[in-house]
Amino acid sequence: MQYILEDQIALITGGSQGLGKQFAQKYYQETINSKIIIVSRSEPKLRSAVADIIMTSTQRKKEEAALQNDEQEVALLAETRTDIDPIIIDEHTLHSTIADHRLFYMPCDLSDYSAVANMFQTLTMVNMLPTQVLSCAGGSTPKLFKDLSGAELESGVRMNYLTALYLSHQVARNIPSCHLILFSSVTAFFPFIGYSQYAPLKVSLKALAGILRHELPQARVSCVFPGNFQSEGFELEEVSKPDITRSIEGPSYPISCEECCDKIVWWLEMGYDDITTDFIGWFLMSLDMGLNKHNNNSFLWFLQVIVGALTNVIIVPIYMVICSIQISMWHRRQSHEE
């Protein structure tokens, strides 16, 4: 199944901010016929995101037309309204309204199974079942396991696994031939101290993608493992991240949200379904490769198997000793401080 942006109905969860919003921006700006539906819990954030996407897209088109000295296009865009009231999709949405617009929003608590089921029932009712589903919802609270509250632990499961699990289940039941794109994380390949609220759920998404590839032969199931990228969520992570997590993670140079989105789209268009956004992600995926892997479709996967085998035998044991020493020294310092 070829990945293209044009002539699609794209459902994007986590679409009110971060990477989800950036994908919505890309679909809206670079297509003519595609319909885009962004989903999250907060209706005010969704309405704000829709308005911002429309305004940003119009401004960019004006700048491009000005650079090309296209006076007619500049004049036409100057008359384009950017104060369009955001359009919600619900059971009362008219087909004529859907025909006249391309960007819509749907408030939904994706961690509530009945809410997700109702959302798909509504989409069926208005004839807007998606051809592409992007599960971008999620977030991390980097802390030591003992310092996490019960609410933070539950939030991690709800945001990072249940949202994708329930969404995928409705896809399997209602549109088993669509393109489902799950968003995991590089921490799925190397979970370490500080990410107990986040990484285990991202590992689960990797496993879910593998199972769905077996069970949905008519679908295309992709799994993205992004590295750090600049977003509202990343800024919040930096506030709570323990020092030992920073030490093991190393210097963090997040790419822009737009660059991250463009890289993912490029790899999807190239036909790959296991996607990383930087070299360290590709390398960590190599360490996770083994003879028990199936249906893996990543860039130079055959080289990853070789690199992973050699690195796991030669380099990883040494690195894990160094990592263990770092953690032990950190624990000793913590004990002395207490």
Cite the active site residues.
184, 198, 202
For residues 99 and 120, what is the distance between their CA atoms, to the nearest angstrom? 19
Determine contact, residues 198/151, Cβ cutoff 8 Å: no
- Residue 224: exposure state from Cβ atoms within 10 A (0-12, 13-18, ≥19): buried
Distance of CA 80 to the CA centre of its chain: 31
For residues 53 and 55, what is the distance between their CA atoms, to the nearest angstrom? 6
Q: If we measure between CA atoms, which residue out of 229, 242, 232 comes closest to residue 186?
A: 229
Query: What's the Rg (C-alpha) of the chain?
Result: 21
Helix axes 301-314, 316-337, angle to 10 degrees: 60
For residues 6 and 3, what is the distance between their CA atoms, to the nearest angstrom? 9
For the chain, give percent helix, strand, coil, nearest 5.
55, 10, 35
Query: What sign for the dihedral angle of Cα 295, 301, 306, 309?
Result: negative
Question: b/e map of 147-166 (b: 16 or more CB within 10 Å)?
Answer: ebeeeeeebbbbbbbbbbbb
For residues 106 and 169, what is the distance between their CA atoms, to the nearest angstrom? 18
Q: If we measure between CA atoms, which residue out of 249, 243, 236, 132 comes closest to residue 185?
A: 249
